[in-house]
Amino acid sequence: MSALLAGVRVLDLTNVLAGPFCCYQLALMGADVIKVETPGAGDLARQLGADPALNENLMGASFLAQNAAKRSIALDLKSPRGKEIFHKLVASADVVVENFRPGVMERLGLGAQALRALKPGLVYCAISGFGQDGPLRDNPAYDQIVQGLSGVMSVTGDARSGPLRVGYPVADTVGGLTAAMAVCGALVRRGRTGEGETIDVSMLEAALVAMGWQVSNWLIAGVAPERLGNENMTAAPSGTFATAEGALNIAANKQQQFEKLCALIGRPELARDPRFAQREERKRRRYELKAELEIALADRSAAQWAALMNAAGIPAGEVLSVPQALAHPQIAARGLVRRFEEAPGVGAPLDVVRAGFRLASGDPVPAAPPPRLGEHAAEILRELGLPAAEIDAFLRG
Output the tens digit of pLDDT for each of the chain's 397 residues: 799 999 999 999 999 999 999 999 999 999 999 999 999 999 999 999 999 999 999 999 999 999 999 999 999 999 999 999 999 999 999 999 999 999 999 999 999 999 999 999 999 999 999 999 999 999 998 999 999 999 999 999 999 998 999 999 999 999 999 999 999 999 999 999 999 999 999 999 999 999 999 999 999 999 999 999 999 988 999 999 999 999 999 999 999 999 999 999 999 999 999 999 999 999 999 999 999 999 999 999 999 999 999 999 999 999 999 999 999 999 999 999 999 999 999 999 999 999 999 999 999 999 999 999 999 999 999 999 999 999 999 998 7
pTM here is: 0.94
Neighbours of 323 (CB within 10 A): 8
Task: Indicate which residue of 32, 94, 143, 172 is catalytic.
Answer: 172
Domains of the chain with CATH codes: 9-210+332-396 (3.40.50.10540), 238-319 (3.30.1540.10)
- 8 Å CB contact between 258 and 316: no
Q: 172 catalytic, yes or no? A: yes
**Within the chain, what is the greatest distance between any pair of CA atoms?**
86
Q: Are strands 238-242 and 247-251 parallel, antiparallel or unpaired?
A: antiparallel
Separation of alpha carbons 241 and 295, rounded Å: 10
Strands (E), 112-232: 123-128, 197-202
Q: Which CB contacts under 8 angstroms, 24+ apart, belong to 311-315?
A: 312/260, 312/264, 313/257, 313/260, 314/250, 314/252, 314/257, 314/260, 314/261, 314/264, 315/250, 315/251, 315/252, 315/253, 315/257
Q: Other C-beta atoms within 10 Å of 393: how many?
A: 12
315 exposure class (CB count in 10 Å sphere: 0-12, 13-18, 19+): middle
The one-letter amino acid at 259: E
* Angle at which helices 143-150 and 170-193 cross, to 10°: 90
